[in-house]
Amino acid sequence: SPSNELRYHVDGELVPASRATVRVDDRGFRYGDAAFETLRAYGGTIFEWDAHAARLEATCDALELTHGLSRADLLSRIDETLSANDLSDAYVRLSITRGVQPGKLTPDPDVDPTVVVYVGSLPRGGLEGNPVWDGPAALETVDTRRIPNDAVPASAKTHNYLNGILARQELESGDEALLCDGEGYAAEGATSNVFFVEDGALYTPATDGPVLPGITRRVVLECAADAGIPVEEGRYRPERLRDADRVFLTNTTWELRPVASVDGVAIERDDRVDDDPLETLSRMYDERVEDRCY
């Protein structure tokens, strides 16, 4: 393999990306029976590791996936993968599948998990830097509904991404899908949480609905509290977003990504308002990355 090929961590070993494989009878492949996290390293440090580790544990609890690996073990596999690839600013994906088992749906309680870490270079963005996204998002409400929590809990971050894939495939002109819950209230993007600003206050769908409790979402709410920006978590129709002063999306790789339009309606901020909460929150997010990783 070419010497510049990335190396991934598969079951305790670093292997070239092109040879990083799992078996066809692995439950992660067969059923999507796996927990994962997408993380970001800045200057070699995983941002919000404890929060990601806690969410991974919550996912494994929800799946009753007992893998027997400690947080420290998982973090050292991530660190090893970063070092082996000489990466300090990176995208990191950590997956734990229920492993290879006989071909029946009911899982065996004895689990030999498959643990995969893969990484990619991702330079730090920030306000003046190069954002990861191409530009502000065009958000489009789709008909595909977010799977209800009593079917597959949205709080569990599993390999089961068909809901989001179908939503993305439905897009006509937008580049992120807005999925609503069964009653038509905005839930989240296919891979992002959604926020809007109205008269200086911040609104976001509550996580008792079918919404992944995003780590970025949590940091943004923390920043809003520190900045004295009023916050409401609730249930909102997509129309509320179209009429908002500001709309933005959050996830680990995008950080805070502005939304330029919702369902083709341009989001126009009120220039009579001096403070732009999105600018304030983006700056504060950047400061937290700086403080916690460097």
Distance between CA atoms of 117 and 119, rounded to whole angstroms?
Answer: 7
Least Å from the CB of residue 34 to ligand PMP: 14
Binding mask 4-43 for ligand PMP (x = CB under 6 A): ----------------------------------x-----
**Per rule CB under 6 A, is residue 250 in the interface with ligand PMP?**
yes
Task: By CB under 6 A, name the one of 95, 97, 191, 207 that touches ligand PMP.
Answer: 191
Helices then strands, each counted (H, E), the chain: 7, 15
**Per rule CB under 6 A, is residue 188 in the interface with ligand PMP?**
yes
Task: By CB under 6 A, name the one of 193, 204, 207, 261 that touches ligand PMP.
Answer: 193
Structure tokens at 74: 């998982």
The number of residues making up the chain comes to 294
Under rule CB under 6 A, which residues in 147-166 are in contact with ligand PMP? 164
**Per rule CB under 6 A, is residue 144 in the interface with ligand PMP?**
no
In terms of DSSP H, where are the helices of 49-182? 49-63, 71-84, 162-169
Number of residues counted as binding ligand PMP (CB under 6 A): 14
DSSP 233-274: EE---HHHHHT-SEEEEEETTTEEEEEEEETTEE----TT-S
Least Å from the CB of residue 280 to ligand PMP: 19
**Per rule CB under 6 A, is residue 259 in the interface with ligand PMP?**
no
**Per rule CB under 6 A, is residue 95 in the interface with ligand PMP?**
no
Q: Which amino acid is at 275?
A: D
**Per rule CB under 6 A, is residue 176 in the interface with ligand PMP?**
no
Select 99 or 214, whichever has its Cβ closest to ligand PMP: 214
Helix axes 215-227, 49-63, angle to 10 degrees: 130
